[in-house]
Structure 1
């Protein structure tokens, strides 16, 4: 399947939209890292910004959780590394939150 040909204006609009989405995801992760937003709040949000961020990124933003700890947590809870917050099932959310709090 060939990609559609975009006009220069359409290309600039798409680039601006992508940059805004990256900025919003970065701000969300920064608020988790600073403690202003909890993982439970991120998992409960219904906006596209929260739904499109990867679970691994959210967990790595939690103070005290590095790559090894996050990988072990994801494996224990049965969540794929490529899963996004919007794609988590209710049981997966609950297991992750229980593991983080306990």
Structure 2
């Protein structure tokens, strides 16, 4: 009968959610790799919705020349909590981090 809804089992829902989550993780990974290759600019990287749920420290380490020590130093300078995600940054924090990462990338050229 037209208009009837098909019953979806909880295991089908779980499988679909797992597939969507896996695809989202793959997309984020590809984006982070493009940041590491220098294909994405600093401003564009911070604006991307793909990294909104990524922790700032992990995100900063995507950029060439920024390791754990420098990432933590930048976070301290910008007054960013260790567990903060990119999407949760305030405008001043974001501006400070963009400036700091930009300086590192400029020195590499």
Q: TM-score, normalised by structure 1?
A: 0.84
Quote the residue 1:96 is aligned against: 97
Count of matched residue pairs: 95
Gaps of 5+ in 1: 1-5
Q: How does 1:52-71 map onto structure 2 within 5 Å?
A: 52-71=53-72
CA RMSD of aligned residues (A): 1.4
Larger radius of gyration: 2
Give the Cα–Cα distance (whole angstroms) in 2 for the partners of residues 29 and 56 of structure 1.
13
Partner of 1:29: 32
Q: TM-score, normalised by structure 2?
A: 0.79
| Runs (5+) with no aligned partner, structure 2 | 1-8, 104-109
- Distance (whole Å) between structure 2 residues aligned to residue 61 and residue 72 of structure 1: 15
1:10 corresponds to 2:13 = yes
User: Contact between 2:57 and 2:82, CA under 8 Å: does it hold in 1?
Assistant: yes
**Structure 1 position 13, deviation (Å):** 0.5
Distance 1:60 1:80 in 2: 16
The runs of at least 4 aligned residues of structure 1 exceeding 6 Å deviation read none
Q: Is the 8 A contact 1:53 1:85 kept in 2?
A: yes
Q: Is residue 53–residue 86 contact of structure 2 (8 Å, CA) maintained in 1?
A: yes
